[in-house]
């Protein structure tokens, strides 16, 4: 079966998957306001890939996190709305992945996962402890500081078909380098490189 990839919606995926499973909402818990923490939830992930273009200038391990609650119309990865889709992602499995690609990567990108904030924060901490940069693609318009403070890059904004993704000049989505505050969208927008000839 041939595999095609797209960078529309908020993720980067093979497009030949089915979305037949029921959606399971996992409510965010956050870290603030409670002294008693429930055990961290494992998250599920799928399609680990090394990508060169999603984060400009970085060699990035991208992990698609299952269970997105946003249900953007036209989402190309609706098959991952089921939180049980894919394999378990926890500290142990992330360390295994990072060990496997030791020395090759400069960044780890999570496609989602902010709905399990405590678990995501623990995973981000592991990435940073290994000296790598962290990135999150979220369909939300904003994220709590408890998460952004642990990120080097963030993409914000839901998928809106009529506005397109980062390669669209009118997109609502924004990719930021949080170290500098720079919006990185200009790295993606298609430019008209044609030259008008005169006779
Ligand atoms: S944020 Fe929207 S486009 Fe991205 S995975 Fe969730 S539902 Fe799909």
Q: Is the CB of 178 under 6 A from ligand 1?
A: no
| Atom number in ligand 1 closest to CA 10 | 4
Burial of 198 (0-12, 13-18, 19+ CB in 10 A): exposed
For the CA of 138, the closest atom of ligand 1 is 1
Answer whether 165 contacts ligand 1 (Cβ < 6 A): no
Task: Indicate yes or no: pTM above 0.95.
Answer: no
**Ligand 1 centroid to residue 70 C-alpha, Å:** 6
Report CA torsion sign: 51, 52, 56, 58. Answer: positive
Q: Which ranges of 86-193 does DSSP label H, i.e. alpha helix?
A: 91-100, 117-129, 145-148
Report pLDDT digits (tens) over 93-145: 999 999 999 999 999 999 999 999 999 999 999 999 999 999 999 999 999 99
Give 199 Cα–ligand 1 centroid separation in angstroms: 49
């Amino acid at each position: 079966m041939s595999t095609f990839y797209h960078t529309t919606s908020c993720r980067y995926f093979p497009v030949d998957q089915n979305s037949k499973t029921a959606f399971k909402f996992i409510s965010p818990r956050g870290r603030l306001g409670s002294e008693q923490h429930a055990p961290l939830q494992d998250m599920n992930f799928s399609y680990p890939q090394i990508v060169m273009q999603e984060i400009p200038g970085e060699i990035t391990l991208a992990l698609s996190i299952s269970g997105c609650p946003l249900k953007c119309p036209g989402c190309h990865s609706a098959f991952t709305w089921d939180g049980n889709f894919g394999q378990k992602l926890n500290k142990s499995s992330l360390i295994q992945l990072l060990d496997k690609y030791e020395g090759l990567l400069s960044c780890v990108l999570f496609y989602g996962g902010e709905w399990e904030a405590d678990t995501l924060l623990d995973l981000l901490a592991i990435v940073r402890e290994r000296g790598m940069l962290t990135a999150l693609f979220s369909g939300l318009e904003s994220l709590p500081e408890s998460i952004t403070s642990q990120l080097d890059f963030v993409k914000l904004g839901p998928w809106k078909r009529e506005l397109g993704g980062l390669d669209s000049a009118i997109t609502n989505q924004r990719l930021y380098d949080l170290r500098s505050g720079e919006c990185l969208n200009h790295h993606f927008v298609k430019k008209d490189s044609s030259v008008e000839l005169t006779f």
